[in-house]
Chain A
């Protein structure tokens, strides 16, 4: 297992390198620079700024400097917020997004798995059809439609919950709901389908023939292998939800990673954008690795 982990981490290096090169060339090929302002700067000032930040160097030198910094754990200076480094900006925003994301994960995955089990055990009942139709709706309707509608209903009309910000626990309800809903719906459908399939397999029939109760059957034997598709969906989903949702953070005015990314891109803040791409890609690679390692835990037939 250790050998497998190490070889997977090594094979992630070219992927990460490709992502870096792509993102770096993209931001550099774009028209406009980080020091473009409403009023054009005097050419000498701009030249001096470019020199100070190393932007007068050839592309590959800049890239080399950037990667060298990354390897030392230095994300570089932010071009738009000269008083703080990219590392500091991310350190401020990440906990905000991650807290929301973890809450959404607990709600979404927990409820989703529970609903999936109920639907699978009552397969083709009215309850099953209702739950699955509702979850299909949850998958189809995007967060940026759900969230404003929820704000309109619960914050503007009923005035039960605040509409934006994160000051009190009540402020968390709507954004967590909006983040969790699509995950909940997706997990419920995956869980149902895979549990229905697992319950048809030979080892379950054997266990049933030995007179085990339904509860033991589902929770001791069928659950683990049935969780595999859910886990493989949740891996990348966790990476996404921890780094925040661009739209949800925009709608609820939350100072997280998603908003930082949009601002960075709009401001041509090269290093900030690059830093966030690196953060997300590394998270994605790690999550996918964890998923693959979990397969072995969930299904003893899986070997590395």
Chain B
């Protein structure tokens, strides 16, 4: 399926979901006095129209992606997901060190010592710069680390 057709169908499906939720859960008001649901419903309908027009028009090629790039992208997204999941439970330094070590060792296959050193340097250094110098509150994990 062409890129435009696939993207158009996804947008149309999203728009249908938006419109359904707006109609089911939000007050619509009237034409003269629109309620909280009016703008989302209107935008959903317009988005659906654009999505269907894109799908009907078709065309548009996908940018080339090989298996290696796709695998790497998935691993990076998994690392970002891990950071979101563990950030408050493990604390900034442990989460960042684990995420960096995973990317450098498992994804990039870098030598162990430089990878671990870079992970430790970045996680500890950025914590010190932001939490201590710039006073940005960052979470601490077990044992206050």
Please indicate whether A and B come from the same complex rather than being unrelated chains. Answer: no
